[in-house]
Amino acid sequence: MSLSRRAKIIIGAIVIASLAIGLPVVGISLMNANNNLIRFNKLDNAGVMIEAFGMRIYVDPINLPQAYEALPADLILITHPHGDHYEADMVSMLQKTGTVNVFPENMTTAIALHGGIGVNPLDELDVGIIHVTAFYMYTFDVPPNPATHPREANWTSYIIDIHGFTFFHAGDSKNLLEYYELSGTIDVALLPLGPGCQTMANEEVVAALNRIEPRYFIPIHYAEGANTEWISVYGPQVTSCQILDIAYGHGYTFVPV
């Protein structure tokens, strides 16, 4: 199934049981559907899991322990087909009745495999109370080499709106002019730290934050220790938002106001 640009579909409200499920791997528990807290967990590489209002959302889940079978998805968002962002086995493991799987429209094999929905930048969809907008995600040519994430592929970042509290997951992207369109609309920006040949890096991340102006910045997609080094060198230049340095496998609870 695919969406045309600016098209919008509504997928029936999905309610999951408010059971407390403890996992020693990440120490998380499912939010009660009547609780307005939003629980964020950082998974491997660019992977994240968000639990809110009785729903569970994954973006780019890879390398998950088998225990995550007990935490199936209501919504899975994949930014692009590279192996550090999409693993078919992980998507399959997280399925349950009614799981909605969203991919860039040109990932036709994955869409067919998982019964997914194809999107292009600026497409929108609602899954229960969650409003998702696909956004731009690309990198640039580095002559003589072409871009590793070409704009024409229409791979996607995502804006996830949960009752007015917004996450932006950039996937693998450079600092884009389109980020000015997001200025002041994002609560939590999830931006990669590198490597610079594949994504934004170093001062590009600072520039991207200045364009987006989120309330919080959570680094994703980095090698071990690169987050600490980046914060030490570039953190003092970040004045537009609060940096939340969350380790892989750990979480943070947001209280929307």
Residue 183 DSSP label: T
The token pair at 158 is: 């995502």
Q: Which residue is it, tokens 């340095």?
A: 245
Domains of the chain, earliest start first? 37-254 (3.60.15.10)
What lies within 8 Å, CB to CB, of 131 at 6+ separation is 124, 125, 160, 161
Tokens of 216: 């919080």
Work out whether strand 165-169 and strand 188-192 pair parallel, antiparallel, or are unpaired.
parallel
Q: What is the pLDDT of residue 226?
A: 95
- The type of residue at 165 is F
Query: Minimal CA–CA distance to 28: which of 47, 14, 49, 44?
Result: 49
Closest-CA residue to 42 (of 224, 227, 220):
220
Look at residue 114 in the predicted model and tell me its pLDDT.
98
User: What pLDDT is attached to residue 33?
Assistant: 53
Among 236, 174, 178, 233, smallest CA distance to 211 is for: 178
Instruction: With beta carbons less than 8 A apart as the criterion, state whether 118 and 93 touch.
Output: no
> For each of the chain's 257 residues, which pLDDT tens digit applies?
655 444 455 554 333 222 223 332 333 344 445 578 999 999 999 999 999 999 999 999 999 999 999 999 999 999 999 999 999 999 999 999 999 999 999 999 999 999 999 999 999 999 999 999 999 999 999 889 999 999 999 999 999 999 999 999 999 999 999 999 999 999 999 999 998 888 999 999 999 999 999 999 999 999 999 999 999 999 999 998 999 999 999 999 999 87
The pair phi, psi for residue 226, each rounded to 5°, is -65, -30
Strand-strand pairing, 100-104 and 75-77? parallel
- pLDDT tens-place string over residues 37-55: 999 999 999 999 999 999 9
Reported as a single tens digit per residue, the pLDDT across 102-124 is 999 999 999 999 999 999 999 99
